[in-house]
Amino acid sequence: MQVLYKSTRGSGETVTASMAILKGLSEDGGLFVPTAIPKLRTSMDTLSRMSYQETAYEVMRLFFSDFSDQELKKCIAKAYDHKFDTPEIAPLHKADGAYYLELFHGATIAFKDMALSILPHLMTTAAKKNHADKEIVILTATSGDTGKAAMAGFADVPGTKIIVFYPKGGVSAIQEKQMLTQKGKNTYVVGITGNFDDAQTAVKKMLNDAALGAELAQAGFQFSSANSINIGRLVPQIVYYVYAYASLVKKGVVSSGQQINVVVPTGNFGNILAAFYAKQMGLPIHKLICASNDNKVLYDFFSTGTYDRRREFILTTSPSMDILISSNLERLIYRLTGEDSAKCRELMESLAANGVYEITEEMRSGLGDFYGNYCCEEETRQAICRIFENSHYVVDPHTAVAAGVYEKYKKETGDNTITVIASTASPYKFNRCVVEAVSDQYKDLDLDDFALVDALHEISDVKIPRAVEEIRTAPILHNRVVEPEDMPRTVKEILGI
């Protein structure tokens, strides 16, 4: 079956997978969605004997129809190699009554590596296939993890440049140092004096600015995106849900066809949407549990049917989820409207203009697969502490938000279905918060970030990841900070136009 892509705000015209990846965002401002979600036909028995790479191929070939087998296999081989510190790529760890799907074994120790290690290869392949003759400029807004993972993927990739915008003061110390020490002649990191939503909104605006696009084209450039609005990021994220399920079958934890729950710490709604797509493909998922931090727009949306971002933006210890405009929700909204792009556009325009939209009762009835809840800062801290005390397993604050929400879900529903929790970052990336949660001993010592790394090592016995050792003594290579309204000017300055 040939899967094509259409815009959530378009008039129904379709593009190939490679074109959708190359463009990132549709010209009408909508997001690309597959014309139909393909069914997973490979048997669970076969899947349970496959490596991560083989599973990736089984899933991606269904979505990326216009890539040849050879092209896709090459992209997969280049992405999921020794950059990951375990041959399993995404291992499951049983702790505290759940299965933690560790998605942080890649180069930058957050789950963004799962998709961003393959996106550059998909994109350069797509450029070749479509005879794109311009240099690709990847514009990226980051709440802390995407930026580093995208730069690690695109650094020194011929024919590309990457510009990353992050909220200055809105990311963890390790996240910031990871970005500011990034090497590569084609990488640019810019702090902004706003929050993630400001960065993402400005990036989407630039991607959609026809005049700016024309200026770029004249100078030999074209924009694309490494954010999860790009379908080339979303599809690789489906793979690990299939892989996790197959691993549970292999371990004999579930029998083929038995349902599981999935809990996802959520910000931009990309990761959980991938799980939803996995369910649409036929993976036996019962509930998709959407976990938020104090920025609980999604929880409120699931409880009331109203999406309202008109509220204070709260900086938390899970900064990668400090988001009030969850871009990928648009793909779900589009489905809920019965693929009515005019209605979808109306809702999204209302969000942009008024900061709020409300869905109909009928649309709400399509949300039955989802459960939403949130954890405040204290509950997050308690979850880190509890899991460590019960299972001697340290989780990062994002994963802790998911674990805390899972506890609430179990209490509320009594549902004891086997559950997979997406573990989205290494605790080393958020060492201060984690060390403070599990031990009082270090509280008054005023340790610097790398002394905290050593403290966490002492407490947890978990090997210090290469990604952290690498930046310990690395020089700072980037120092731009601009106001959000100066982002377009900064891009032009960087490109010399």
Ligand X SMILES: *Cc1c(COP(=O)(O)O)cnc(C)c1O
Is residue 295 at the binding interface for ligand X, with CB under 6 A as the rule?
no
Among 48, 182, 187, 320, binds ligand X (CB under 6 A): 320
Q: Which stretch binds ligand X (CB under 6 A): 104-112, 383-391, 432-440, 464-472?
A: 104-112
Question: What is the closest distance, in whole angstroms, from the C-beta atom of residue 250 to ligand X in the complex?
Answer: 26
Q: Which residues contact 252 (CB under 8 A, 6 or more apart)?
A: none
Tell me, residue by residue from 321 to 340, as one string, x for binding to ligand X by CB under 6 A and - for no binding: x-------------------
Are 398 and 320 spatial neighbours (Cβ–Cβ below 8 Å)?
Answer: yes
Question: What is the closest distance, in whole angstroms, from the C-beta atom of residue 374 to ligand X in the complex?
Answer: 13
Cα–Cα distance for residue pair 359/46, rounded to 1 Å:
41
Cα–Cα distance for residue pair 57/76, rounded to 1 Å:
7
Query: Residues 405 to 424: which contact ligand X by CB under 6 A?
Result: 424
Is residue 317 at the binding interface for ligand X, with CB under 6 A as the rule?
no
Question: What is the closest distance, in whole angstroms, from the C-beta atom of residue 328 to ligand X in the complex?
Answer: 7
CB closer to ligand X, 71 vs 396: 396
Question: What is the closest distance, in whole angstroms, from the C-beta atom of residue 228 to ligand X in the complex?
Answer: 5
Strands 221-225 and 260-265: unpaired
Q: Which stretch binds ligand X (CB under 6 A): 58-66, 108-116, 407-415, 435-443?
A: 108-116
CB closer to ligand X, 110 vs 283: 110
- Please spell the DSSP secondary structure of 292-334, one letter per residue: E-S--HHHHHHHHSEEE--S-----S-GGG--S--TTHHHHHH
Cα–Cα distance for residue pair 208/267, rounded to 1 Å:
23
- The position carrying tokens 């510190």 is 85
Is residue 153 at the binding interface for ligand X, with CB under 6 A as the rule?
no
Is residue 186 at the binding interface for ligand X, with CB under 6 A as the rule?
no
Cα–Cα distance for residue pair 379/390, rounded to 1 Å:
16
Count of other CB atoms within 10 angstroms of residue 496: 7
CB closer to ligand X, 127 vs 468: 468
Count of other CB atoms within 10 angstroms of residue 279: 20
Question: What is the closest distance, in whole angstroms, from the C-beta atom of residue 41 to ligand X in the complex?
Answer: 27
* Among candidate residues 241, 288, 227, 238, the one with its CA nearest the CA of residue 263: 288
Question: What is the closest distance, in whole angstroms, from the C-beta atom of residue 185 to ligand X in the complex?
Answer: 26
CB closer to ligand X, 321 vs 453: 321
Is residue 108 at the binding interface for ligand X, with CB under 6 A as the rule?
no
Give the number of residues in contact with ligand X, rule: CB under 6 A.
Answer: 17
| Exposure letters 216-227 (e unless 16+ CB within 10 A, then b) | beeeebbbbbbb
The dihedral built from the CA positions of residue 466, 467, 471 and 477, taken in this order, carries a sign that is positive
Question: What is the closest distance, in whole angstroms, from the C-beta atom of residue 28 to ligand X in the complex?
Answer: 23
DSSP code for 170: S
* Among candidate residues 141, 157, 139, 186, the one with its CA nearest the CA of residue 24: 139
Among 136, 398, 404, 468, binds ligand X (CB under 6 A): 398
Query: Residues 31 to 70: which contact ligand X by CB under 6 A?
Result: none
Question: What is the closest distance, in whole angstroms, from the C-beta atom of residue 238 to ligand X in the complex?
Answer: 12
Is residue 380 at the binding interface for ligand X, with CB under 6 A as the rule?
no
CB closer to ligand X, 195 vs 271: 271
How far, in Å, are 7, 27, 227 from residue 34 at the CA level? 9, 16, 17
How far, in Å, are 27, 110, 132, 418 from residue 123 at the CA level? 18, 21, 11, 37
CB closer to ligand X, 114 vs 202: 114
Query: Residues 234 to 293: which contact ligand X by CB under 6 A?
Result: 265-271
Among 76, 89, 95, 110, binds ligand X (CB under 6 A): 110
| Residues forming the site for ligand X (CB under 6 A) | 110-112, 145, 228, 265-271, 320-321, 398, 424-425
